[in-house]
């Protein structure tokens, strides 16, 4: 796939299934109450639930669900994604009546918490949080501590007896509100904070005393006023309304739009807003905040995997300001009770959601609160192990386990790792944030990475920490390396999602982005230097470390075996050499669906003879050259037949136009003339003669064989001689001779005579019989339309979907990129039809051809070859239309096997759902 989709994540459902917008959602699951914009949750009850992800977003739906478990969730309410849609439809205006509904729900939160919003004596503070159906970096960050003002902060101080805490919360609010809601650049606040810290001679925020924090608040208010032009709002509802509006606005922000584009997320109405009572991880040393996974998202190991910070709030953990502690080893020392509670929550969450959870928690004065849970993003290796383990633990069944693995994401496992025997010099160690081996040259910014990858370089993106704006550069890089940030930092989370190797928090690195210099242990590295990363163990190496191929073992092997139990579609491979055939067999290929013979002619020795053949002036000359090519062809086929050990091998006869084999520049033409003993002019003339305006619609495919049957004869001879030879060795052979580009039955009949006669002659010479099939590619729409006639001669069909797409759309494969991007951007086409089968057009031709073909030949074998054979969506289509097999490149064989299993399981599930509905 041209679209680099190796970033398939296990948790993010892609395009197709997210098409429902909440506005149009119907049916019992997923629909909300008409006109209702706000859903309350609290004290064990919730108006929403886990089934309302379209309407409440993932975060809101799960907050509601956790509330009802019951898990300790601070009360709050969710404003629907539909409301965000209304807001944007109306030219970014909050719908009338919304704020009244919000006020009613704030009152409910007040009752649930026995606190009052804006009342200094017993103040309620709230958080405003964005949350779409899928977690989406690029949208507005959370604003905490809404409801604080000059009066309330004093009340908070008195009430908690903790003045420091109150002012710490207040300065956070002014900063977050100023930054994320009003767009005041964060560094203006940061500068003031640093100045105060310097004055007081302290290093950490936590070392600032109350008086200093009051000073910070004063300065922050000045910064705010200076940049916004108005003082910081003292009315809590004004704060809340502005925050809600900012969340809605961020849905259409550049970063959010770009993220949706990159991840093929379409058809959503907007983001929800979650407004929730605050709980405080910054109330002192008995308070903390953290994030955790119920299993290790890198390896899949069944172990608690999380980080926490004592006396901290909100995004301190993710932002990488202080280095968080590992829950598994440190939490027990801090609070045995909290640790025990977290372990219990791990089990409760997994039992309920039947999947790994990524959750956020805060501990306020020893009491634990849950702030979020969602299915955790994980590497493919982890996804596979978790699916297999959970099946063994009987949390899920086998079909569910198989469906959990995104076929596309297997790409990650089929990629190389470092050769354990390779020499390497470690220059730094960091956290193993996302596994895999990556080798590349250093780039210091995301833009630079994108630019250099565009020029064909391999890049490792090196940053102190990444941010959502870096997403494009991260996407194209081989690997990502950061010097700060933990296992749940932005870089780590995003890299795991993309399947890109990442080493995070390699603290010994000094990264100078301006000077484009990476220094470590007195050594400097720049943009021309290669480095290698092992994301599985967190090591950084100098230079290019040697990598090795992947293999199918352990949980991966298990899941593939399960997949094979469900699928009915066979998977073959496209292979032109014995080596490709071998690799594909190891990945489970059940035959060769396309062996292209022309590639064999491009070898230096052979191309010379090939050219001799093309330049020959008569049939005898051509026959003489072809006789020299015969042994080469035969040798290749012998190798392939041996490697496939009796599995079917479809061999396509010569396909490309002849001019592709001739040199086109002067120098090469002169050299060729000399070696063939002709004049350069003769060569030039022949090249000119072969020139065509539309070579892809020209003298190629079976049209060559019609003009020069001797080429076909040589190829058939090579195939049958090889088959006889291998059969004599005692190996079963099943050659399938395939004629390309057929448009009429007569072409096929004409060539069949030559084929059968040659085969018969060879078998007679060899004194042995081999069975072979004679079939055709369906690439020309006329062949699809007249498939019933064609099937009278053809014993099998193979859909060459690349050419069939080209001819059905009338888009030249070679030139399509001059306009296709516009079609995709303007959504005139939903996706590139050369990557994923155009079901509505090309797919209909395939369906028709299969039906018509089988109407005259019941057992007509049908398959596809071409890029589409390895595209999961296309594979599902092939299953549905009743093909016998798909054929794809060797490394995509496991992907196709899994996609075929998905298709079969889904079909089965749909059928049984239909049955039970009828009852």
For the annotated catalytic residues, the residue numbers are 490, 865
Q: What, of Mg ion, ligand ADP, none, does residue 155 touch, CB below 5 to 8 Å by kind?
A: none
If one asks whether residue 144 binds ligand ADP (CB under 6 A), the answer comes out as: yes
Cβ proximity to ligand ADP: between 317 and 560 the closer is 317
Among ligand ADP, Mg ion, none, what does residue 239 contact (CB within 5–8 Å per kind)?
none
Of 353 and 799, the one with the shorter C-beta distance to ligand ADP is 353
What string of H, E and C letters represents the secondary structure of 609-634? HHHHHHHCCCHHHHHHHHHHHHHHHH
State the residue number with the nearest CB to Mg ion.
Answer: 372
CA dist 279 → 178, 372, 412 (Å) = 21, 13, 40
Binding partner of residue 483 among ligand ADP, Mg ion, none, CB cut-off 5 to 8 Å per kind: none
Query: Which listed option, ligand ADP, Mg ion, none, makes contact with residue 144 (CB within 5 to 8 Å by class)?
Result: ligand ADP
* Residue 117, SS3 per DSSP: strand
| Binding piece for ligand ADP, criterion CB under 6 A, among 46-54, 274-282, 656-664, 666-674 | 274-282
The one-character DSSP state at 139 is B
How many Å separate Cα 798 from the centre of its chain?
29
DSSP secondary structure letter of residue 758: H
User: Are 530 and 543 in contact, with CB atoms under 8 Å apart?
Assistant: yes
Shortest Å distance, C-beta 276 to ligand ADP = 4
Q: Please give, one letter per residue, the 3-state secondary structure of 891-915.
A: HHHHHHHHHHHHHHHHHHHHHHHHH
Return phi, psi of residue 187, to 5°: -70, -20
Partners of 539 in the β-ladder? 429, 534
Question: Which of Mg ion, ligand ADP, none does 276 bind, CB closer than 5 to 8 A by kind?
Answer: ligand ADP
Site string for ligand ADP, 312-351 (x = CB under 6 A): --xx------------------------------------
Q: What is the DSSP letter of 513?
A: T
Q: Is 681 exposed, middle or buried (0-12, 13-18, 19+ CB in 10 A)?
A: exposed
State how far the Cα of 169 lies from the Cα of 161, in Å rounded to an integer. 14
Strands 734-739 and 648-652: parallel
Binding residue (CB under 6 A) for ligand ADP from 14, 129, 717, 727: 129
By CB under 5 A, tell whether 484 contacts Mg ion. Answer: no
**418 vs 188, 524, 537, 852, CA distance in Å?**
45, 24, 11, 51
- Please, what is the minimum distance in Å from the beta carbon of residue 295 to ligand ADP? 19
Contacts with ligand ADP in 364-383 (CB under 6 A)? 371-372
Is 66 a binding residue for ligand ADP by CB under 6 A? The answer is no
What mask, x for binding Mg ion by CB under 5 A, covers residues 355 to 384? -----x-----------x------------
* CA–CA distances in Å: residue 468 to residues 57, 137, 190, 321, 490: 20, 6, 19, 17, 8
Shortest spacing between CB 912 and ligand ADP, in angstroms: 37
- The partner in contact with residue 315, picked from ligand ADP, Mg ion, none with C-beta cut-offs of 5 to 8 angstroms by kind, is ligand ADP
Chosen residue from 8, 60, 74, 743 binding ligand ADP by CB under 6 A: 74
CB of 834 to ligand ADP, least distance (A): 37
State the nearest-atom distance from the C-beta of 46 to ligand ADP, in Å: 15
Q: In the set 360, 470, 871, 876, which binds ligand ADP (CB under 6 A)?
A: 360
The runs of H, that is alpha helices, within 161-280 are 163-176, 186-200, 210-228, 236-250, 254-262
What is the dihedral angle through the alpha carbons of 89, 91, 92, 95, rounded to the nearest 10 degrees?
-60
Euclidean distance between CA atoms 471 and 143, whole angstroms: 23
Contact 778, 702 (CB under 8 A): no
Select the binding partner of residue 778 from ligand ADP, Mg ion, none (C-beta < 5 to 8 A, by kind): none
Q: How is residue 303 annotated by DSSP? A: S
Q: Least distance from C-beta 148 to ligand ADP, angstroms? A: 13
Identify which of residues 127 and 893 has a Cβ nearer to ligand ADP in the complex: 127
Kindly state the smallest distance separating residue 131's Cβ from Mg ion, in Å: 8
- The item of Mg ion, ligand ADP, none sharing an interface with residue 127, based on CB under 5 to 8 Å by kind, is ligand ADP
Q: How far is the CB of 468 from Mg ion (least distance, A)?
A: 9
Does 362 sit near ligand ADP (CB under 6 A)?
yes
Hey, what are 492's tokens? 């780590």
Cis (ω within 30 of 0) for the bond into 70?
yes
CA pair distance 56, 76, nearest whole angstrom = 13
Q: How far apart are CA 48 and CA 597, in angstroms?
A: 61
Binding-residue pattern over the window 277 to 316 for ligand ADP, x denoting contact by CB under 6 A: xxx---------x------------------------xx-
Closest to Mg ion by CB, 294 or 786: 294
Q: Considering beta carbons, is residue 109 or 208 the nearer one to ligand ADP?
A: 109
Q: Which of 712, 703, 705 is nearest to 626 (CA)?
A: 712
Q: Give the residue from 56, 65, 50, 49 showing the smallest Cα distance to 22.
A: 56
Select from ligand ADP, Mg ion, none the partner in contact with residue 278, using the beta carbon and a kind-dependent cut-off of 5 to 8 Å. ligand ADP
Q: Which stretch binds ligand ADP (CB under 6 A): 276-284, 634-642, 748-756, 865-873?
A: 276-284
Choosing from 62, 81, 276, 282, the residue that interacts with ligand ADP (CB under 6 A) is: 276
DSSP at 331: I
Burial of 553 (C-beta count, 10 Å sphere; 0-12/13-18/19+)? exposed
Asked whether the beta carbons of 293 and 10 are under 8 A apart, the reply is: no
Please, are residues 540 and 461 in contact by the beta-carbon 8 Å criterion?
A: no
Residue 891 CB, shortest distance to ligand ADP, in Å, is 35
175 binds ligand ADP (CB under 6 A): no
Q: How far is the CB of 474 from ligand ADP (least distance, A)?
A: 17
Angle at 592 between CA 588 and CA 594, to 5 degrees: 135
For the bound state, the minimum distance from the C-beta of residue 104 to ligand ADP, rounded and expressed in Å, comes to 19
Closer residue to ligand ADP in complex, CB, 370/382: 370
Q: Closest CB to ligand ADP belongs to which residue?
A: 129
142 binds ligand ADP (CB under 6 A): yes
In the structure encoding, which two tokens stand for residue 735, read together? 């050659």
Listing DSSP states for 171-204 in one string gives: HHHHHHIIIIIT---HHHHHHHHHHHHHHHT--S
Least distance between ligand ADP and beta carbon 362 (Å): 5
Contacted by 279, from Mg ion, ligand ADP, none: CB < 5 to 8 Å by type = ligand ADP
**Of the ranges 270-278, 591-599, 673-681, 828-836, which one interacts with ligand ADP (CB under 6 A)?**
270-278
Nearer to ligand ADP, 345 or 860 (CB): 345
Side by side, the strands of the sheet bearing 288-293 are: 325-326, 305-310, 288-293, 357-364, 367-375
Nearer Cβ to ligand ADP (5/67): 67
Task: State yes or no: residue 250 binds ligand ADP (CB under 6 A).
Answer: no
Minimum CB–partner distance for residue 362 and Mg ion (Å): 11
Applying CB under 5 A, the residues found at the interface with Mg ion are 360, 372
Applying CB under 6 A, the residues found at the interface with ligand ADP are 74, 127, 129, 142, 144, 276-279, 289, 314-315, 360, 362, 371-372
């Amino acid at each position: 796939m041209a679209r680099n989709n190796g970033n398939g994540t296990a948790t993010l459902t892609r395009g197709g299934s997210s098409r429902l917008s909440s506005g149009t959602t119907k049916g019992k699951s997923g629909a909300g109450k008409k006109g209702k914009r706000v859903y309350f949750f609290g004290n064990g009850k919730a108006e929403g639930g886990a089934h309302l992800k379209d309407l409440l977003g993932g975060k809101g739906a799960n907050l509601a669900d956790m509330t009802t478990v019951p898990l300790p969730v601070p009360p709050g309410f969710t404003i629907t994604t539909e409301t965000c849609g209304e807001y944007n439809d109306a030219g970014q205006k909050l719908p009338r009546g919304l704020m009244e509904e919000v006020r009613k729900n704030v009152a409910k939160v007040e009752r649930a918490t026995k606190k009052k919003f804006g009342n200094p004596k017993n103040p309620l503070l709230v958080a405003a949080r964005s949350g779409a159906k899928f977690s989406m970096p690029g949208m507005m960050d959370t604003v905490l501590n809404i409801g604080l003002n000059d009066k309330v902060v004093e009340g908070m101080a008195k009430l908690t007896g903790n003045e420091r805490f109150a002012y710490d919360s207040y300065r956070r609010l002014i900063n977050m509100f100023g930054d994320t809601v009003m767009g005041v650049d964060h560094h203006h606040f940061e500068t003031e904070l640093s100045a105060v810290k310097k004055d007081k001679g302290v290093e950490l925020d936590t070392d600032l005393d109350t008086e200093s924090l009051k000073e910070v608040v004063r300065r922050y208010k000045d910064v705010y006023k200076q940049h916004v032009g108005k003082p910081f709002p003292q009315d809590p509802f004004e704060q809340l309304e502005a925050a809600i509006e900012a969340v809605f606005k961020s849905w259409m922000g550049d970063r959010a739009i770009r993220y949706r584009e990159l991840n093929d997320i379409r058809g959503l109405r907007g983001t929800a807003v979650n407004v929730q009572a605050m709980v405080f991880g910054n109330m002192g040393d008995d308070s903390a905040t953290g994030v955790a996974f119920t299993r290790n998202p890198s390896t899949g190991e069944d172990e608690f995997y999380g980080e926490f910070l004592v006396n901290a709030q909100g995004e301190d953990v993710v932002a990488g300001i202080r280095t968080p502690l590992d829950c598994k080893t440190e939490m027990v020392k801090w609070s045995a009770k909290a640790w025990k509670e977290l372990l219990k929550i791990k089990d409760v969450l997994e039992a309920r959601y039947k999947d790994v959870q990524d959750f956020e928690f805060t501990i306020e004065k020893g009491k634990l609160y849950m702030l979020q849970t969602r299915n955790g993003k994980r590497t493919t290796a982890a996804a596979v192990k978790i699916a297999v383990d959970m099946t063994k633990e009987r949390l899920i069944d086998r079909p569910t386990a198989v469906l959990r693995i995104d076929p596309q994401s297997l790409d990650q496992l089929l990629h190389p790792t470092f050769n354990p025997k390779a020499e390497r010099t470690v220059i730094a160690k960091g956290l193993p944030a996302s596994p895999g081996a990556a080798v590349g040259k250093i780039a210091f910014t995301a833009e630079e990475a994108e630019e250099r990858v565009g020029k064909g370089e391999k890049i490792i993106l090196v940053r102190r920490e990444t941010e959502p704006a870096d997403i494009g550069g991260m996407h194209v890089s081989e690997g990502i390396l950061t010097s700060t940030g933990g296992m749940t930092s932005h870089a780590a989370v995003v890299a795991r999602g993309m399947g890109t190797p990442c080493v995070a928090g390699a603290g010994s690195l000094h990264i100078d982005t301006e000077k484009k210099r990476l220094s470590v242990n007195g050594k400097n590295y720049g943009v021309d230097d290669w480095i290698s990363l092992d994301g599985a163990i967190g090591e950084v190496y100098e230079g290019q470390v040697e990598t090795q191929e992947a293999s199918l073992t352990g949980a991966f092997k298990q899941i593939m075996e399960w997949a094979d139990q469900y699928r009915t579609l066979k998977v073959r491979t496209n292979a032109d050499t014995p080596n490709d055939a071998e690799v594909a067999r190891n990945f489970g290929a059940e035959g060769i669906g396309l062996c292209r013979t022309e590639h064999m002619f491009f070898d230096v020795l052979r191309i010379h003879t090939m050219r001799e053949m093309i330049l020959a002036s008569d049939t005898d000359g051509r026959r003489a050259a072809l006789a020299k090519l015969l042994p080469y062809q035969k040798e290749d086929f012998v190798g392939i037949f041996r490697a496939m050990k009796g599995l079917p091998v479809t061999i396509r006869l010569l396909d490309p136009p002849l001019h592709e084999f001739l040199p086109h520049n002067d120098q090469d033409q002169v050299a060729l003339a000399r070696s063939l003993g002709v004049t350069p002019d003769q060569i030039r003339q022949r090249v000119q003669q072969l020139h065509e305006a539309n070579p892809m619609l020209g003298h190629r495919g079976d049209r060559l064989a019609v003009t020069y049957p001797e080429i076909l004869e040589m190829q058939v001879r090579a195939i049958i001689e090889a088959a006889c030879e291998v059969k004599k060795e005692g190996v079963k052979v099943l050659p399938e001779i395939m004629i390309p580009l057929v448009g009429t039955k007569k072409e096929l009949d004409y060539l069949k005579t030559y084929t059968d006669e040659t085969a018969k002659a060879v078998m007679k010479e060899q004194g042995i019989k081999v069975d072979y099939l004679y079939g055709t590619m369906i690439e020309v729409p006329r062949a699809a339309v007249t498939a019933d006639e064609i099937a009278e001669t053809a014993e099998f069909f193979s859909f060459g979907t690349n050419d069939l797409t080209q001819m059905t759309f009338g888009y030249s494969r070679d030139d399509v990129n001059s306009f296709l991007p516009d079609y995709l951007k303007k959504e005139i086409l939903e996706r590139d039809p050369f990557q994923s089968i155009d079901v509505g057009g090309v797919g209909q031709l395939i369906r028709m051809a299969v039906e018509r073909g089988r109407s005259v030949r019941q057992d007509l074998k049908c398959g596809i070859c071409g890029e589409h054979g390895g595209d999961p969506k296309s594979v599902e289509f092939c299953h549905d239309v009743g093909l016998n097999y798909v054929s794809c490149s060797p490394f995509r064989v496991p992907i196709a096997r899994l996609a075929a299993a998905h298709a079969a399981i889904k079909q089965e599930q749909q059928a049984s759902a239909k049955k039970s509905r009828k009852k």
